[in-house]
Structure 1
Amino acid sequence: MVSTNVTRQDSAVSRLDRERLQRHRGAVLWLTGLSGAGKSTLANAVEARLHALGCRTFLLDGDNVRSGLCGDLGFSLADRHENIRRVGEAARLFLDAGVIVLCAFISPLKEDRQRARALAPDGDFVEIYCKSPLAVCERRDVKGLYRRARAGEIADFTGITSPYEEPDNPELVLDTARRSVDECADAVVARLVAQGTVPVSLQTA
């Protein structure tokens, strides 16, 4: 649905102006994977490293967003679509501000992730698949969500009663069951340096 009777307003300060001031480019880092795959843990580790390098960052986490911006949504298919649509739009705003925004969401459906990708210019959307077997995710489940889902107490739970569609061509696939958080964070930062989002000069400053 598109709002009517609105006119987009351009800013006197462009994204490029903001990026020049902060000495790095903006980007959307989209971490996807099953509950318990380590998305939030990895996103926090990456953000801490980028912050230490002097990068402007912001982390959009699934639970945090659902407690505010998307607090009115449930977990039906329609609500899942709307949840990721809102997050994608929020990520686009951060990107325009020149920020490296980290989005840690199960985002189980390919079409929703593709819609979020389409909002960013080519090369600015980095899909990171946190790949972990379901059994490992269940063992890590300190909240007991998988147990409750298997007991029928939680409906539409991804990986149990609702599908997870693996990414076809993500920029990064990280085996979070076998690789440490530090190793995975190293891989993400290295990707950002390789693609020019984070200049090498920041690492050596």
Structure 2
Amino acid sequence: MNSKLLVFVLFAVWSGISWRWYVCGVKKACSSDREVPGTGIVADPGGIETDTITAEQIIQPSDGYTGGAGEPSSIETVHMEALEDRMVIHFPYSSTRKEDNEAIDDYLSRLAQYMIASGEHVTISGHTDFVSDPKTNYQYGLRRAYGIRDILIKKGVPKSQIRCRSYGESKPVASNDTALGRYKNRRAEIVLNKK
């Protein structure tokens, strides 16, 4: 009986060490450096009622904006969150496109109008959770960024004003151990760059 308990304890210890090595060593998902670099002003939704858009209007939340620092209502839907210096759009699992969401459409329309008028540039960074392999995750992140870029181009923004990049799974903002954490890591970040 004691030998079975010893085998079980050794197996449990080995499992914990192997899991930690995989998550921290291979996937680099438990790094203490979780800050995504970027400079720029807040590209946040704003209440705009005139034809001329200023950076201050982009920063102000609009009346229809329902995103924010709170938890999303469902991990199966697209959710928009305004952070200090960026707008973040979270995606459901295996999703690369911005699904129908009035607040996101409104934000992207106002952002496009501002970019056309000001000539400012935007950087869109795609991110994923760590469920798939790094190459696939890099491609998903890039497709998320390109999806937002294509919407801005359709709204009249010149392609030369938009920079897209993918970090894949390399810059998580939450733990990949839970469904909500993985949902928070599946995102596109939009940063309006200063000239």
TM-score band, normalised by shorter chain: 0.3 to 0.5
- The two structures have a TM-score, normalised by structure 2, of 0.35
In the superposition, the TM-score normalised over structure 1's length comes to: 0.34
Q: Radius of gyration: which is bigger?
A: 2
